[in-house]
Amino acid sequence: MISRRAFLETVSAAVVIPGWAGQAAPPNEWGSPVFDLHFHMRPQPASNLAHLDGAGITKANLLTRATAAEQVAAIEAAAPRRFTWFSSADVTKPDAEQALTAAVKAGAQGFGEMKFHVAADGPELRRMYALAADLKVPILVHFQEVDHFPDEGTWSTGFAKTFESMLKAYPKTTFIGHADAFWANVSADYHNEAAYPSGPIVRGGITDKLLGDYPNLLGDLSANSSNNALSRDPEFTKDFLARHRTKLLFGSDCSCTDGHGGGVSQANNPAAARLAGKCVARETLTILKRSTTPAAFADIVWGNAHKLLTIPA
């Protein structure tokens, strides 16, 4: 049994933790404070906190629609210094730029998540890539080519074929990749056969290559999509996390109520049944912890978010 003091000394000797200004990190089951980049805002302040506290998450980025400044303010009042926020607006509507600009003026630190039935290289998203660069905020994009239920439709299509041209065309835009197509394409043998492919990963996948080649691309480790990719091939996962440790950010995208898998998890997504009844945050943090060094783990779950965003200490 390790004493609390010895534990804190071990933690503070092992990793420098931004946002804690020389203080030791608070004791935490993960051994590092954790920032959840991908947390969909819930209407009641207490419901947001229930997930963070239940899963052992220190702070989170609320994903909201349009100008949610008032709702965010209510949550921040209930739990000071624990939240940042992103905003999204329907990119097919002419006032999307106006709405997102207003949200950033009101305190949003990014666009997201951007999940619309348009092409990844189409005019609707191109306007958003350009605006994100102008406003100096990152843009979080949901890429999906395979339906989760009949007639769902696809989202930001063309990741494998056209997204590299967007990274080249918008070098000042910070892109954060997320969802099925982004994570399935870590394997070089993927051709949109399934939302969540299984089996060992074939090295040299598009996502791995883009993360290596483009400083303006980051990866969001949230949801079943990332958890599935990280679960396929433990040796690959270790190498992949080490290779991209400065470019990957932990997120949950979890819909459980309590940070322990309660409530309805993975609703409307039978293909993600492997995580039904589980907390996606806990499952992914567990994989990350066993697949990285303590310093790389701290980068991925905390430090990298502090380089990207202004997170209140």
Select the span of 67-75, 77-85, 198-206, 272-280 touching Zn ion (CB under 5 A): 272-280
Select the span of 80-88, 187-195, 231-239, 252-260 touching Zn ion (CB under 5 A): 252-260
Judged by CB, which is closer to Zn ion: 15, or 62?
62
Judged by CB, which is closer to Zn ion: 50, or 296?
50
Among 254, 275, 296, 311, binds Zn ion (CB under 5 A): 254
3-class secondary-structure state, position 103? helix
Contacts (CB under 5 A) with Zn ion, residues 10-69: none
Judged by CB, which is closer to Zn ion: 173, or 225?
225
DSSP string, 16-55: --TTSTTSPPPP-TTSS--EEEEEEPPSSHHHHHHHHHHH
CA-based nearest residue to 202, from 190, 216, 215:
190
Query: Does residue 91 contact residue 67 with C-beta atoms inside 8 Å?
Result: no
For position 256 contacting Zn ion by CB under 5 A, the verdict is yes
Judged by CB, which is closer to Zn ion: 131, or 272?
272
For position 301 contacting Zn ion by CB under 5 A, the verdict is no
Q: Which helix (H) or strand (E) holds 73?
A: helix 69-78
Judged by CB, which is closer to Zn ion: 245, or 282?
282
Rounded least distance, CB 58 to Zn ion, Å? 15
Residues with Cβ within 8 Å of 144's Cβ and at least 6 positions away in sequence, in order, are: 154, 155, 156, 179, 180, 181, 195
Rounded least distance, CB 12 to Zn ion, Å? 28
Q: Which residue has the tokens 């779950």?
A: 301
For position 125 contacting Zn ion by CB under 5 A, the verdict is no
* Largest distance between two CA atoms of the chain: 60
For position 104 contacting Zn ion by CB under 5 A, the verdict is no
Judged by CB, which is closer to Zn ion: 266, or 291?
266
Rounded least distance, CB 69 to Zn ion, Å? 22
Secondary structure of 223-268 as H, E, C letters: HHHHHHHHHCCHHHHHHHHHHCCCCEECCCCCCCCCCCCCCCCCCC
Judged by CB, which is closer to Zn ion: 35, or 236?
35
Rounded least distance, CB 86 to Zn ion, Å? 12
Rounded CA-CA distance 205/183 in Å is 10
Q: Which residue has the tokens 């690959």?
A: 236
Structure tokens at 206: 């598009």
Q: What is the residue type of 179?
A: A
Judged by CB, which is closer to Zn ion: 196, or 236?
196
For position 279 contacting Zn ion by CB under 5 A, the verdict is yes
CA-based nearest residue to 142, from 172, 100, 112, 187:
112
Select the span of 70-78, 130-138, 231-239, 253-261 touching Zn ion (CB under 5 A): 253-261
For position 142 contacting Zn ion by CB under 5 A, the verdict is yes
For position 82 contacting Zn ion by CB under 5 A, the verdict is no
Other C-beta atoms closer than 10 Å to the C-beta of 104 total 19
Query: Does residue 67 contact residue 106 with C-beta atoms inside 8 Å?
Result: yes
Rounded least distance, CB 29 to Zn ion, Å? 14
Q: How many residues bind Zn ion (CB under 5 A)?
A: 6
Contacts (CB under 5 A) with Zn ion, residues 163-182: 179
Q: C-alpha distances in angstroms, 29 versus 64, 259, 284?
A: 28, 13, 14
Judged by CB, which is closer to Zn ion: 170, or 182?
182
Instruction: Give the binding site for Zn ion (CB under 5 A).
Output: 142, 179, 254, 256, 279, 281
